[in-house]
Chain A
């Protein structure tokens, strides 16, 4: 668990941490690939909500360089089965089971254990 789709939606939320707080960077990641039944309509609908560069850099850091640096501008290509299937593999089938996600701004380490990330803040990071 911690699929890359989830990772793409998460940002550091420590009080006053507003610079370089996204994306969180994986550390000591134990990656597992688990086949999942594709729903390409869902992927297509999710495209406008993706942070593309964050996804590409994160996938690369985990050893997957199948995605282009820029999101294809050609609408046909975006909707093609080939492209969406590639994206499905990165977003839905790539899991980080153990390790951590680290904020490049404040340095907070979000631990991942048995696939469940601990996104809780410490008392001094909460604010009022």
Chain B
């Protein structure tokens, strides 16, 4: 009973073992899961770092205290550690300092259920345990043993019920050989466990984590395997090599969602293209959409449909469109590739339809049809974005009347007719996408997309800010870094805007009118001439975004002595 009384006062703390890949996506993924299922998460510690107030006094002081949640978000995003300590709160999503009304939840039955939801939904979560080790961690086993000895209540409840147990020792960045594993586990003799050992089906698993210096190997990603020999191998920790820190807990659940990374691996897919997104990133994006049973998710640049399958996997209905129908169909005679791949994953039923059209000339009858828009726009590195119409000032002028061919047939009704298209500049595309999303989404619906950017020129204001769309971002944001450029995952949520009479504002469809084509001409906007942003001409951007003329800069190899204004087009 003693341990029960204690758990009524203090909220259970949880130890999350996370995958090493894409650390800047960790918090967004946890946040989205918590938003979807309606619980709150407070981040407490990672690696050597902890938030003030979370610290537990132990025999020797240890770790670095951080003053704000934002600093901790940065530390988690850096990915130096694979371990994260959290507790659950009321509210929705990951706790922010600005929304400090969330209270810890002490009902362990409830919080265990939430922890299990995280393991079922978050692909970066490898396991979740009840935390035994101190916050932020222990620098070595002596420290951990000293901390645990006076705290028998941590494991006494399992002893009382004579739960059959096992130990599981995980080396991070190093493999731990069997003799060393046994030796380490024997070190826990002070726990005086009298219940039976059961290695096959333990009722309680004591989880140990030893974290070593970073290894550059990305052992988790099946699509990053270039050797063709399967998983890369970790080095074994030899005598004299000591871990940086150790953690311990009792297992709640192993990550169930992580196996989806293998299920959706592009190399095993029946149909894909040279721009298909790797499965792990697709799944992370799908998580951001809050895809779920009975929702409707749409990709306006669907390509080969990579993002549709993963959203459908969470039970959503999905639709895709692309200006280039050949991308969705593929060359195989046995039917369109998108449907074959959907069949392979058992989600054909969920793919409502795939259509060929240019989203700037779209046939949607009305707005507020969609729960989410997910897309990886073609930003022009491997395949540039196109829109219908002819380029202004080009060799041929756009025609406004149909043309009858000498044989009496309208040219556009000839089989194989492909209408003229022109480049779709990234800045236009991104702005249009956000305005389009505000029109098409239901309130609370999300737009999730990749924004490529020249790393040196990135600025948070590059994401279009319009009334009614709110960005969801943690730390420095979520980014996948390449050498001189990166792509940022942007998540925007449509918020209800109510006027003075309490009437919900309805938004107009976007006009898709291009921004001034010459970015060098863009003027710095006068702050006090802040007219209605809808009425303001769009060339009044305050700054040239980091993704302007992305393709030109990419092809030019990103000159590092880039002028403050990017080169003009043509």
> Is chain B a partner of chain A in the same complex?
yes
Q: Are B355 and A119 in contact (CB under 8 A)?
A: yes
Q: A39-B294, A114-B329, A126-B361 are in contact. List 20 more A-B contacts (CB 8 A).
A: A8-B365, A9-B365, A11-B363, A11-B365, A49-B366, A92-B352, A109-B413, A114-B335, A116-B325, A116-B329, A116-B354, A117-B353, A119-B355, A120-B356, A122-B419, A123-B398, A123-B399, A123-B419, A126-B419, A128-B389
- Which chain A positions have C-beta within 8 A of B319? 6
Q: Does B357 contact A (CB under 8 A)?
A: yes
Q: Does B339 contact A (CB under 8 A)?
A: yes
The smallest C-beta distance from A91 to any residue of chain B, in angstroms, reads 9
Q: Does B420 contact A (CB under 8 A)?
A: yes
Q: Are B400 and A124 in contact (CB under 8 A)?
A: yes
The contact of B352 among A5, A114, A117, A125, by CB within 8 Å, is A5
* B413 (CB) vs chain A CBs: closest residue: A109
Q: Are B294 and A3 in contact (CB under 8 A)?
A: no
* A48 (CB) vs chain B CBs: closest residue: B368
Q: Does B364 contact A (CB under 8 A)?
A: yes
The B interface is mostly helix, strand or loop, or mixed, namely loop
- Which chain A positions have C-beta within 8 A of B339? 1, 115
Q: Are B336 and A123 in contact (CB under 8 A)?
A: no
The smallest C-beta distance from A98 to any residue of chain B, in angstroms, reads 12
We find that the number of chain A residues with CB closer than 8 angstroms to chain B is 36
Size range of the chain B interface in the assembly: 35 or more
The contact of B363 among A5, A10, A36, A122, by CB within 8 Å, is A10
Interface string of B290-329 (1 = CB under 8 A from A): 0001111000000000000000000001010101010011
- Which chain B positions have C-beta within 8 A of A117? 353, 355-356
Q: Are A6 and B353 in contact (CB under 8 A)?
A: yes
Interface string of A50-74 (1 = CB under 8 A from B): 0100000000000000000000000
Interface centre among A49, A118, A119 (most CB of B within 10 A): A119
Q: Does B402 contact A (CB under 8 A)?
A: yes
CB-defined A-B contacts under 8 Å, sample of 25: A1-B354, A3-B353, A5-B352, A11-B363, A13-B361, A13-B363, A49-B366, A92-B352, A114-B329, A114-B335, A114-B336, A116-B336, A118-B356, A119-B362, A119-B363, A120-B361, A121-B357, A121-B419, A122-B402, A123-B420, A124-B401, A124-B412, A126-B388, A126-B398, A126-B419
